[in-house]
Amino acid sequence: MAQYTRVSGSVGLITLQSPRVNALSAAVRQGIVDMMQRALSEPEVKSVVICGQNGIFCGGADIKEFGKNMSGPPLIPMIHAIEAASKPVVAAIEGIALGGGLELALGCHYRIAHAKARVGLPEVTLGLLPAAGGSQRLPRLIGVPAALDLITTGRHVTAAEALKLGIVDQVTDHNTVNVAVKFAKRVAGQSLDPRRISTYPCPCPSDADALFEKAMQKVRRAARGAIAPVACVQAVRAAATLPYNQGMEREKELMATLFTSGQARALQYFFFAQRAVGKWSMPSGARWETSKPRPVHKAAVIGLGTMGRGITVALAQAGLSVVAVETQEKQLMEAKQAISGMLERGAKRSGVAPALDKVSYSHNIQPVADVDLVIEAVFEDMALKKKVFQQLSAVCKPGTFLCSNTSGLDIDHLACQTRNPELVVGMHFFAPAHVMKLLEVVYGPKSSPHAVATAMQLGKKIGKVSVAVGNCRGFVGNRMLKPYLEQALFLLEEGATPEFVDQVLEEFGFAMGVFRVSDLSGLDVGWRVRMADGLAQPDPTTGQPVRVRQGRRYSPLGDLLCEQGRFGQKTGRGWYQYDKPGSQVAKPDPWLHSFLDEYRTRHGLVARRIDHQEVLERCLYSLINEGFRILEDGIAAGPEDIDVIYVFGYSWPRHRGGPMFYAATVGLNKVLERLEHYHQAHPDVPSLQPCRLLRKLVAGGSPPIHKWREVIKKVHSQL
Ligand SMILES: CC(C)(COP(=O)(O)OP(=O)(O)OC[C@H]1O[C@@H](n2cnc3c(N)ncnc32)[C@H](O)[C@@H]1OP(=O)(O)O)[C@@H](O)C(=O)NCCC(=O)NCCSC(=O)/C=C/CCCCCCCCCCCCC(=O)O
């Protein structure tokens, strides 16, 4: 909807009204068309201001309408009509002008923004391009290099930057609508020809070919197979090389391909998935709307290894006071230096003062007595963590939330060490903790909704995408990773090389294949866990073969590498070789190839040719199958939680929507059929056995992903 009022005698004020972000739904577009006609037909009205209700100009096209039959007036002719209007039209931008919202503003003759407003063309993040003229008008207004940057990254810019770039004409600290109305009165009657951006020539640098070639190379490298950034470059190129009308034709053509693409569907699903995870629920019925977070002003971090340092930085940068505790004096001094360095570098990047004074350091636990929340980040050792939780419970003031950064240990065991187990939750950060967006908030059987709400709220405050998950070994992310890693090792045993497996996964869109990631994070990490679990060595008393543990197939390849001191990048050798310890350039290692040959011979394995399809299916479908088990077990509330965890924590390609969305696109019946096929070939690998929920979904006709929660509910009610 759009409301029309006459203000200040001669200004027609059109207010977009569509909660929450005034998206350009059919009703809003109709409203704009009708109200513009009214403003143009009233002789007393000399100029027009367009604004949005509730301090938000416009969040762009209504994403919910995409993929449905679109009704109502189309956006492009509506914007053209505004630009062609005989009376000046001023956009009063408060809050945001994004996507179609900015394109609407670019169709206006003037743009006035509030100092706190942000503008941008984020269509690329939804698998689209700014196809309401944005790809043609923006380069004409601000030049090709700046437009390429904004359109291919989708980044939002502040009002100050928008003014500098020439996107807006004026920035104000005052009431933007009032300022725009005054401005509109002043410019009434002035010639509008110089204000119609579509008539501008596109300022094109002399080396345009080289510029576009470079831009194309850059987006292809970063896109990992995403098609929208490439189309964005092509559209801007059209603006630079074609007359406006032909450029618009090209924009439409490129958009037609993107609009119906699987990638656009995946990215739009992911947009809503990110919002869905904030609306968390627990199996007890506790929910985000009814669980009040408690304020956290002062926090403590216990243990200042890599994770503890990153967490301290993330908290301090968000303005919290932090007590950073490390009992080893030498470690404490090193950590202090490292944390200060990270804070200084971060502050330099964002142009603010470093939050050094927010952090106080201690080598004992006493100063945490008055904090509101503690995050324990000591070594991944249950006995040690239990001791820390006992101490914290004795020292902290009543009501302090006690959180663990464990990546997979039982939260309930820790909660049991404390006087108030309801105040204990997991806060599983991902390395580097001040950079990575994901936070798994893990509730145990005793965690209170307030504790979950507080951890979720704190996650939001420090800029994380927080997902509430249940308590089980590895939680969601690491639990699903286990079968994926396991399949990768089995593929090596059967004849693949690390390079081939990684190549297939990287072509799929992962930033790094499984073996390159293992080398980066350190092979010894998993080795220690397997040793603690008694898996790294076969049990001599059972007489089981070396490649079997607890009755299941097991690959000791990772353990054998660790026994040789090959821990990955840090030792210069792992699944790959590196020029020197710490180097990041992975090279195939002839030693490893011979080692694999000898290993296969020793175990009577005959290497066979493994193709692309088998690598993808075995690695991904086993991971997806575990995802279905997690849903079945109620550890994640819905597929969106898993997808958000995988995109933000494990570099799953966003344009594929996440593993559960990917399964839906491939077709659940196909995933089931291939798992059955592989399980038949490998009956000693339980992770390939299709789980009950997957079978149930397929039996129910493979409902669309937004209907899975209903099926899951039914499965739970039958238990
Ligand atoms: C920054 C935000 C705007 C706000 O953030 P925040 O304050 O944190 O709030 P949120 O929780 O994110 O959002 C609040 C609620 O609002 C919902 N929301 C937000 N934006 C939209 C939107 N654009 N549409 C619908 N709903 C929206 C959100 O889901 C929340 O809902 P709820 O409370 O959870 O229920 C932030 O929200 C944000 O970043 N939003 C997205 C901004 C964006 O990306 N905008 C661009 C949209 S795409 C666009 O504008 C495209 C324009 C060009 C269209 C051209 C049309 C031509 C069609 C031609 C087709 C040719 C095809 C031919 C094919 C064929 O041949 O058939």
Could you read off the pLDDT of 312-322 as tens digits, one per residue? 999 999 999 99
Is 655 in the same domain as 515? no
Is 592 in the same domain as 622? no
pLDDT interval class at 536 (50, 70, 90) = confident
Distance 60 CA to ligand 1 centre (A): 6
Would you say residue 272 lies in a domain?
Answer: no
| Contact of 477 with 627, CB cutoff 8 Å | no
Helix (H) or strand (E) holding 163: helix 159-165
Could you read off the pLDDT of 44-82 as tens digits, one per residue? 999 999 999 999 999 999 999 998 888 999 999 999 999
Would you say residue 281 lies in a domain?
Answer: no
pLDDT interval class at 349 (50, 70, 90) = very high
Give the residue-averaged pLDDT of 624-648: 98
Distance of CA 425 to the CA centre of its chain: 23
CB 96 near ligand 1, within 6 Å: yes
Give the residue-averaged pLDDT of 233-237: 98
pLDDT interval class at 294 (50, 70, 90) = very high
Backbone angles phi, psi at 676, to 5 degrees: -60, -45
pLDDT of residue 58: 98
For the cut 70, the answer to whether the pLDDT of residue 359 exceeds it is yes
Tell me the average pLDDT of the chain. 96
Helix (H) or strand (E) holding 537: none
Distance 253 CA to ligand 1 centre (A): 21
d(CA 492, CA 436): 30
Would you say residue 481 lies in a domain?
Answer: no
CB 640 near ligand 1, within 6 Å: no
Which CATH number characterizes residue 224's domain? 3.90.226.10
Which CATH number characterizes residue 372's domain? 3.40.50.720
d(CA 452, CA 640): 18
d(CA 219, CA 162): 23
Is 591 in the same domain as 620? no
CA atoms within 13 A on the CB side of 96: 16
CB 151 near ligand 1, within 6 Å: no
Quote the domain boundaries for residue 440.
298-475
Q: What number does the ligand 1 atom closest to the CA of 252 have? A: 61
| Contact of 576 with 516, CB cutoff 8 Å | yes
CB 1 near ligand 1, within 6 Å: no
Would you say residue 344 lies in a domain?
Answer: yes
d(CA 712, CA 209): 54
Q: What is the set of active-site residues?
A: 103, 123
| Contact of 190 with 131, CB cutoff 8 Å | no
Final residue of a structural domain among 602, 629, 655: 602
Give the residue-averaged pLDDT of 453-471: 98
pLDDT interval class at 543 (50, 70, 90) = low
CB 248 near ligand 1, within 6 Å: no
Could you read off the pLDDT of 567-587 as tens digits, one per residue? 999 999 999 999 999 999 999
Is 183 in the same domain as 157? yes
Distance 392 CA to ligand 1 centre (A): 45
Could you tell me which of 269, 266, 271 has the C-alpha nearest to residue 227? 266
Is 50 in the same domain as 191? yes
For the cut 80, the answer to whether the pLDDT of residue 622 exceeds it is yes
Is 557 in the same domain as 701? no
Give the residue-averaged pLDDT of 10-19: 98
**pTM of the predicted model as reported, rounded to 2 decimal places:** 0.96
CB 60 near ligand 1, within 6 Å: yes
Is 512 in the same domain as 427? no
Beta bridge partners of 424: 402
3-class secondary structure for 113-140? EECCCEEECHHHHHCCCCCCCHHHHHHH
| Contact of 121 with 99, CB cutoff 8 Å | yes
pLDDT of residue 522: 93
Length of the chain as a residue count:
719
Would you say residue 362 lies in a domain?
Answer: yes
Distance 22 CA to ligand 1 centre (A): 9
Which CATH number characterizes residue 565's domain? 1.10.1040.10
Least confident of 174-188, 272-286, 530-544, 680-694: 530-544
Three-state DSSP class for 376? strand
Would you say residue 275 lies in a domain?
Answer: no
Is 650 in the same domain as 526? no
Three-state DSSP class for 518? helix
Is 598 in the same domain as 625? no
- Of 20, 66, 289, best ligand 1 pocket probe by most atoms within 8 Å of the beta carbon: 20
| Contact of 320 with 297, CB cutoff 8 Å | yes
For the cut 90, the answer to whether the pLDDT of residue 512 exceeds it is yes
Distance 101 CA to ligand 1 centre (A): 10
CB 64 near ligand 1, within 6 Å: yes
Final residue of a structural domain among 560, 581, 602: 602
| Contact of 585 with 579, CB cutoff 8 Å | yes
d(CA 74, CA 26): 8
| Residue 253: burial class (beta carbons within 10 Å; 0-12, 13-18, 19+) | middle
pLDDT interval class at 407 (50, 70, 90) = very high
Q: How many separate domains does the chain show?
A: 4
- Predicted complex: ipTM over 0.90: yes
For the cut 70, the answer to whether the pLDDT of residue 362 exceeds it is yes
CB 256 near ligand 1, within 6 Å: yes
pLDDT of residue 546: 82
d(CA 105, CA 124): 19
Least confident of 144-148, 213-217, 359-363, 535-539: 535-539
Final residue of a structural domain among 545, 576, 602: 602
Would you say residue 228 lies in a domain?
Answer: yes
Is 158 in the same domain as 100? yes
Would you say residue 552 lies in a domain?
Answer: yes
Distance 66 CA to ligand 1 centre (A): 10
Q: What is the DSSP letter of 40?
A: H
Is 634 in the same domain as 707? yes
Name the closest-CA residue to atom 3, ligand 1.
59
- Of 28, 56, 63, best ligand 1 pocket probe by most atoms within 8 Å of the beta carbon: 63
Is 571 in the same domain as 682? no
CB 255 near ligand 1, within 6 Å: yes
